Structure 1
Amino acid sequence: MGYWGYFVVGRSERPLAELGALAGASELTLHQTAADGWQVWEYPNTPGGANGDVGNMNDLAEETGAPALFGYVMDSDCVVVEAAAPDSGAWTACLARDAMAGYLGGNEDGLAVDDFFLEPRDAVVRALAWAAESGRDASEERLLDVFTSAAEPSAEMLFFRFLDRLGVVPL
């Protein structure tokens, strides 16, 4: 069984775990820090687990006044990316799209990955705006590569490659 859980990414002078937007996340641990106050916190959360609510990235972006994002890793196979920024708004995409389609394939509503997540090229447009609002310069081509890649060797590594390509947390 692979990893299930969230990575919470934001910029603040205070530890993100101390902010009201993440008050319900009882088991947040600092994973990594980067320049300009960027922080990555980890929140393990198996399906059906009792860890509490991780919070809302819109609230985190509002509280910090900076872009924020959550990456929910599903069994090390794929990642749900939820992002928000004070000016450019919220968006949802996924990494390892084919694996995500497998998780959604059995839903009773008959909805597919395209019904839940932005298409890769649309996700790139939103990610570029998110990066720009973060004061970072990101490459359209490099982001598209991440949004169309498989989770090799794991979804966690793909997520951190995504953060690197956003210019937020270097590999």
Structure 2
Amino acid sequence: MGYSGDFVLARSDSSLRDLPVFDDPEWCIEEQADYFHECRPRPGGWQTLQVNDCLPENDDDRWLHRLVAATGSPVMIASVMDSDVCYVRGLTPSGVAWATFLDPVMAADYEVTVPPHSEDEAPRGETDQGRRVRLLLANVPKAAEQIALWAAEGGFTADREALRAVLAKRADPFVEDVFFELVDACGLPLAAPVGEDPPATDLPVHPGHRPEQHCPRGARLEAAVLSLPRDGVIVLGCAVEADCFAQVWLRPDGTYELEYRDRSPAEHYQTRTVSADKVVAALAGWEAGGIAWRDAFQWNSIGSWFSDS
């Protein structure tokens, strides 16, 4: 099962999660800590807030307008469905508005509604799925231009060629990664380089935890990951804290699902990768009590799944 939820990108002097717009009981009726996660911020006050399963459906316009009014900033919202397809839309204070899908092929598989193109001449024998892909790809240049105008109002110069490439590409394997590539192509300042200590708003970690004595290390750890069978799991536990561990599951589809929990069920994070080398490096970094290993991945907060545990 992939990730389903929303990412909100905007500029604000304070934390996005503190905006009054998120206090509306119609939207988030539980504790915010169970549903919000602040991704690594970008310079200039640009923030990305991951919002898990608490925002109203079919209310995109009102949500966008309220966030623009609250921040005075261009706003981008990305709704991810099972890590397969992403519906992204944007709005600026001046009214520049756009919407598009990431991974056109997967979006066509989901049978999304596609507006007709002015030059819609279907090839003989074209399937419904093929038609959706063709129309989604035909809309890429227009969407890229609209997104570039959105970025310009935020004070950035978008790379139009990069935007077109991102809008046309396949997710490999997680579409939320494509969303962050889209943000980069808009010209927004990059997050802090890999290897630097993350700011306090990033994923929490307590360096120096002591892994259990039986945890494989070094060459044994590498061999354990490389020999892991499909549907196999490796769990590395802490010597003292029960809610402190890292684990990897080799899914039946051949991708690795990597998780770690940091001393509390609420601090539980998950990601996926196709790289065994990245898994080995991450688990070795966790065992060493470091933090830089996390920067190689885009993590999803799944603490709300365990809130009743």
TM range (shorter): 0.7 to 0.9
Q: Output the amino acid matched with 2:151.
A: A
Please, which moves more after superposition, 85-94 or 129-138?
Answer: 85-94
Residue 91 of structure 1 deviates from its aligned partner by 1.4
Q: Is the 8 A contact 2:137 2:168 kept in 1?
A: no
Q: Residues 115-154 of structure 1, C-alpha deviation per residue, up to 9 Å, x if partnerless?
A: 9999111110110001100101111101000000001131
Q: 2:187 aligns with which of 149, 167, 171?
A: 167
Q: Once the 2 structures are TM-superposed, how far is the Cα of residue 80 of structure 1 from its aligned partner? A: 0.4
State the partner residue of 1:64. 71
Greater relative contact order (Cα 8 A, min sep 6): structure 1 or 2?
A: 1
Instruction: Please tell me whether the aligned partners of residues 9 and 39 of structure 1 are also in contact (alpha carbons under 8 angstroms).
Output: yes
Structure 1 residue 167, shift from structure 2 partner: 1.9
Change (3 A) 1:165 1:29: same
Aligned equivalents of 2:15 and 2:97: distance in 1?
Answer: 22
Q: Which residue among 150, 157, 171 is the counterpart of 1:137?
A: 157
1:169–1:151 CA distance, 2 compared to 1 (3 A)? farther
* Cα distance in 2 for residues equivalent to 1:68 and 1:90: 10
Q: Residue 8 of structure 1: CA displacement?
A: 0.7
> How much has 1:75 moved relative to structure 2?
1.0
Q: Does 1:41 align with 2:55?
A: no
Task: Give 1:17's aligned amino acid.
Answer: R
Counterpart in 2 of 1:76?
83
Quote the residue 1:147 is aligned against.
167
Assess if the C-alpha contact under 8 Å between 2:87 and 2:100 holds in 1: yes
Q: Which 4+ residue blocks in structure 1 deviate beyond 6 angstroms?
A: 113-118
Q: Using a 3 Å threshold, how does the CA distance of structure 1 residues 152 and 169 change in structure 2: closer, same or farther?
A: farther
Question: Any idea what the Cα deviations from partners look like across 1:81-123, whole Å, max 9, x if unmatched?
Answer: 01110114221111101101111269xxx9x578999911111
Alignment RMSD (CA, Å): 2.7
CA offset digits 1:54-91 (Å, max 9, x no partner): 87122111221110111111111111001110114221
Whole-angstrom distance in 2 between the partners of 1:122 and 1:130: 13
SS at the partner of 2:40? strand
The 5 Å alignment of 1:100-139 reads 100-104=107-111, 119-139=139-159
2:56 counterpart residue number? 53
Q: Contact 1:10/1:69 (CA < 8 Å) preserved in 2? A: yes
SS at match of 1:32: coil
Q: Quick check: 2:12–2:46 contact (8 Å CA) kept in 1?
A: yes
- How much has 1:18 moved relative to structure 2? 1.4
* Structure 1, gaps ≥5 residues long: 46-50
Higher Cα radius of gyration: 2
State the identity as a percent.
29
* Partner residue, 1:11: 11
SS state at 1:80 partner: strand
Query: Which segment is superposed worse, 146-155 or 53-62?
Result: 53-62
Q: Which residue identity lines up with residue 120 of structure 1 in the other structure?
A: V
Kindly tell me: are residues 142 and 52 of structure 1, through their superposed partners in 2, closer, same or farther at Cα, counting changes over 3 Å?
A: closer
- The normalised TM-score by structure 2 is 0.48
Amino acid paired to 1:44: N
